[in-house]
Chains A and B, each alone.
Chain A
Amino acid sequence: MKSPGVIGVIGVIGRTLGWIDDRTGLVAVTEHAMFHKVPRSAKWWYVFGSATLMFFIVQLVTGVLLTTLFVPSAGEAYQSLVYIDEKIPMGWMLRALHGWSSNAMCIMMLIHMTQIFLHGTYKFPRELTWVAGVALCVTTLGLAFTGQIMRWDANAYWGLGIGAAIVDRVPFAGNWLRSVVLGGPNISGATLSRFFALHVFVLPGTAIGLIGLHLILVLKGGISEMPKVGQPVKPETYRKEYEDRVKKTGVPFFPDAARRDMVFCGAALIGLIGLAAWYGPFGPGPVPSPTIIEVAPRPDGLFLWLFAVLALLPPDSETFLILVGPPVGIAFLAALPFISPSGERAPSRRPISVIILCIIVTALAVLTWLGETSPWSPVMKAWTSIPTPIEYVRHRSPLELQGAIQLQYAQCRNCHSIGGEGGERGPALDDVATRLSWDQLVRQIQQGGGNMPAYGKSLNSAETEALAAFLSTLDGGTLPALIPGAMEQQPGRDQSPTVDPRAEAEPEVDSDTVAAR
């Protein structure tokens, strides 16, 4: 039994809603959005767009809360992150949720795009939905990139340094663009303010606008059906066919299709909280400082592939590819529905699209893996922290041991490994004596070559001698010489040093050298 009071309250609410609907029409719009019919075949493939939106909402909520705590000034940003992590109750959780949700949003978005691409959903009449989606993709990546800079740690410095280097390459306007991006010639407080404005106002605003447009277009064009072989898109007849089918066999979006979205989003949200609780927030990494050289700055996971591309591009094509590649790629993506607006949607009938997708996914995966391991980065602490293998210390002469010390001291091992430890930028040196003769060793040390700097100026003759003497003992165990002249001792060194070798006859020197090892 309801009391008259309750009935009265319900009546007031009902009248208020009626008034609002009369003036705005919002109820009708909501009703249409909730109960419009969607194809029966729209099943679990279709949940990724909703999940992306859900993560965006998480980003908005956590982002607003973080904005109230974060101090966007170069001097205090880092400390304010530490303050959020340590002093604000569950502040670290807030940062963790924001960071993990940003990654999750980007991943969901990429899966969503992949699905749309694979199913040919971008074709008529949903071209603009796709174009708005591509714009959203760029905006989201922009948010992720600027978000990394908000951490204002050494990795943020990396990101800014690379970004500045890219715009610097623009012909003619490079310098000007660089100062626009950085707010001056160098990374400074003005840079942080700029990226804060982008991350907190410009890009989220753009994203909200684009999401609205994207959703309106989805409602207008209708949710696509699962592609069927032999059911190509024909612009003349598609609309009518789609409407007929949906009217006949469609189900209301709410609750039939929305139920799957809600289940998936709920599971994704639980997964997100789990990740945040278990792995915690991202960074802040080492304090940003140009004088700290003992960091190997690396971008966040999403940009690792870009990091790898930048590191691996041949130097002469760098500028062209960096400046031309991304715009062309984005333009191609946006132009896709106009390149192929009709025809079959089923992946089995679009082998070229599937192959392109496979190539892109494989390339990104490999590049990301390379970026994660970054074998081109020197191991900055190798010279003091990785010992010379004991088998390379045993049975070595005092001079060779000095050479082993020189190898550490000149930081050769930051780029070269011996005994499986050290950098991977240059070749491993375990069998270098089978590949290079004494003269070649000395020349390589003094003049460099390949990617190796010349050490002739920084090593004196005794240091070079010791280094070459040690390296010439590294014959990979029992490997034979790969080139004639390798694995021979230095000419003239097996004589008594009290005799000036320049006084000795040349032939005698030669006959002695071969026997050494």
Chain B
Amino acid sequence: MIRFDSSHLHQPLTSASKSLRLVIAASWIFVGAACDRLPGKPPPNPAPVISVATTAGFEAMWAERCTGCHGADGQMGAGLPMRNAEYLKAVPDGEMFSIIRDGVPSSRMPGFGGNAIGGVSDEIIRDFIKGMHTTWASSEGSNVSRGISWRPSDATGDIARGASIFAAKCAACHPAEQKVPVLEGAMPDQLIAGSVTDPFYLRLVSDQHLRSNIVFGRTDLGMPGAAGPFRGPDGGEVTGGLDAADVADLVAYLASKRNTWPSGPEVEDGAP
């Protein structure tokens, strides 16, 4: 029952003690209700793992373990860009899973799961692959690969045919010299990317690496995929993409260059 009592207006002492009581009551409520929500309360241990299936979780894991080689947003890194929905679609999830978990043997792609130090669980890797698909789904639409499969077929490539395709479509940007100085301010169509027939380069990369680069290109660096267009020996544009046989021949041609120069002047003591 609520009763209006105005007597406290005439009794300053009682009024003071009343507000004191109010303050005490309020602080108890605060202590009771808010103490366990103070900013200092530590988060539960172990801290809740943000699922990498979410965008935030995926981006955090990408930033921690992938950006070093594959670039901060999946491109413009030294390694193959993953921000390429066409590539991600072409690589079966099972293959991608084993690449991420176990790495690629005798390459610089380390494994991030299994028994690796700090390795993550298989489930996290599967979620991570989903995250790649959803995060970079919008990077699709270019059809740079012309539907050529990621893995080669069993047919062996024709080296001589590969050499002629190389001369017609690749050599303008990839001359035999290891390195040609790039002029500052050069237009993209004047860029020279440097040699891919350099045996040191070829020893560092697998045939699969060559194939992925030829089929899917490195559009972030200005290199077209199998769809072209390419630059011809005269500097003009060469349209007409590569088909699966062309790619196999090109890879075979490049692979044949891998051991043309068994040991350079610097490395006579130690072969790879």
Contacts and interface: CB of A to CB of B under 8 A. Distances in A.
A492 B198 contact: no
The number of chain B residues touching the other chain, given as a range, is 35 or more
Contacts of A386: 67-68
B230 to A, nearest CB: 16
B7 interface: no
Nearest to A90: B35
Contacts of B44: 86
A136 interface: no
Interface string A386-413: 1110100111111111101110110001
Interface stretch (A195-203, A253-261, A496-504): A496-504
A393 B272 contact: no
B78 interface: yes
A384 B64 contact: yes
A494 B178 contact: yes
A92 interface: yes
Contact of B264 (A86, A385, A501): A501
Contact of B221 (A384, A393, A399, A465): A393
B265 A489 contact: no
A343 interface: no
Contact of B76 (A82, A85, A390, A402): A390
Nearest to B41: A92
Contacts of B110: 409
A291 B67 CA distance: 25
Dominant secondary structure of chain B at its interface with chain A: loop
Interface string A268-284: 00000000111111001
B40 A465 contact: no
A466 B191 contact: no
Interface stretch (A52-60, A138-146, A456-464): A456-464
Contacts of B68: 382-388, 408, 413
Nearest to B110: A409
A280 B200 contact: no
A497 B176 contact: yes
Contacts of B66: 384
B117 A291 contact: yes
Given A86-B45, A496-B176, A462 B181 contact: no
Interface stretch (B137-145, B149-157, B239-247, B255-263): B255-263
B36 interface: yes
Given A276-B40, A395-B191, A399-B201, A491 B265 contact: yes
A280 B41 contact: yes
Interface in B175-197: 176-179, 181-182, 191, 193-197
Contacts of B118: 292-294
B79 interface: yes
Interface in A86-140: 86, 89-90, 92-93, 96
Interface string A460-476: 11111110010000000
A385 B78 contact: no
Given A92-B40, A460-B272, A402 B201 contact: yes
A148 interface: no
Contacts of A494: 177-179
Nearest to A78: B45
13 contacts: A90-B35, A92-B40, A280-B41, A385-B65, A387-B76, A390-B71, A399-B194, A462-B199, A466-B200, A466-B201, A498-B260, A501-B261, A501-B265
Among all A-B residue pairs, the 9 with the closest Cβ atoms: A397-B194, A280-B40, A461-B267, A404-B78, A460-B272, A462-B203, A409-B108, A399-B201, A384-B68
